[in-house]
Amino acid sequence: MTIADTQPHMQSTQEIGTAWSRMVAKRRFYTILGLVILIAAFISSVRFADESNAGHFFDRLPHLFDFLSWLIPKDWDDVWRALFDIASVNDKGGEEFNFDKGRVYVWGAFYIPEYFELMIVTINVALISTIIAFVIAVPLSFFAARNLTNSWPLRIFTKRLMEFLRAFPEIVIAGLFSAILSIGPVAAIIAITLHTIGALGKLFYEVAENIDMKPHEGMKAVGANWWERVRFAALPQVLPNFTSYALLRLEVNVRASTIIGAVGGGGIGEELKLSISRGFGAKTMALVLLLFVTIVAVDQFSAWLRRRLVGEHAFLLQH
């Protein structure tokens, strides 16, 4: 926006110059005011952190990354041994190097490394949660879509329900259900499922509200009921995008199930927490490596599948 746009009545060069100087001075004032507020908020936050940490925040700050020194294994070959449950030459009978004791024998001498089994549990928690949430979120999204449901009380109730479900982080819900159902993957599945229903439901009904209504109107004209219109006119249009969002959510849920595992939800998260707290460098590095490779694999697979479902054009940059 220029001076001529804001004050078109000005004609002389002096008036325009004066107005420009005032505008620059005003912008500088707001910039300085914003910086002052930002610095004050930062100082207040640091003081609050120091008081919350019994006054030891600044004392411990230089030691923030000390744990990295004891997480680095002395023998890097132990990382691979820990990952595949191969006996370590450094095993002296303690827990730090007892890699081969975690093997899960399936048939004779054939075994699954312990961490691979834990990773499978984590992925299973994410997969089951996403599937259940997808099945529930699809009909809820049609109830919430303005162009498909005429009843506004039903739309409002459905939207508020989905907002309620996604209002609480998965870890909070998992803590609640752990107290009821005891610690384990079941509490993690319920927590992730409830949060995913709310998250996917919102994305789904926004997609449903942007469909082409001509097929819907055509079916309505020949006497189709609400379920038939949704099934044959709306669902075929939105199903590729619904599946794409569900796959994207699956990636998020793999990370969420790992975090919940660290607080008792089972899977690889629990083992990672124990390994870090005990200072087992090789085991920790093996778990981090396996987790990283799994996340990348899930990300690449879901991206490939989403491209197949919604087409390459959906991933091109829009100019």
Q: How confident is the model at residue 194 (pLDDT cuts 50, 70, 90)?
A: very high
Three-class SS of residue 256?
A: helix
Measured CA to CA, the distance from residue 233 to residue 231 in angstroms comes to 6
Three-class SS of residue 104?
A: strand
pLDDT greater at residue 200 or residue 18:
200
Residue type, 97: F
The tokens for 122 are: 């984590």
Question: What's residue 313's pLDDT?
Answer: 61
pLDDT in tens, 164-188: 998 888 888 887 877 777 777 888 8
Question: What's residue 319's pLDDT?
Answer: 46
Measured CA to CA, the distance from residue 207 to residue 258 in angstroms comes to 29
pLDDT greater at residue 189 or residue 16:
189
- Of the ranges 80-94, 200-214, 273-287, which is most confident? 200-214
Least confident of 56-65, 191-200, 203-212: 56-65
The tokens for 195 are: 């949060």
The tokens for 10 are: 């000005």
Q: Which residue do the tokens 């300085």 mark?
A: 32
Average pLDDT over residues 59-67: 73
Please enumerate in sequence order all residues whose Cβ is within 8 A of that of 241, keeping only pairs 6 or more positions apart, or say none. 207, 310
pLDDT greater at residue 195 or residue 312:
195
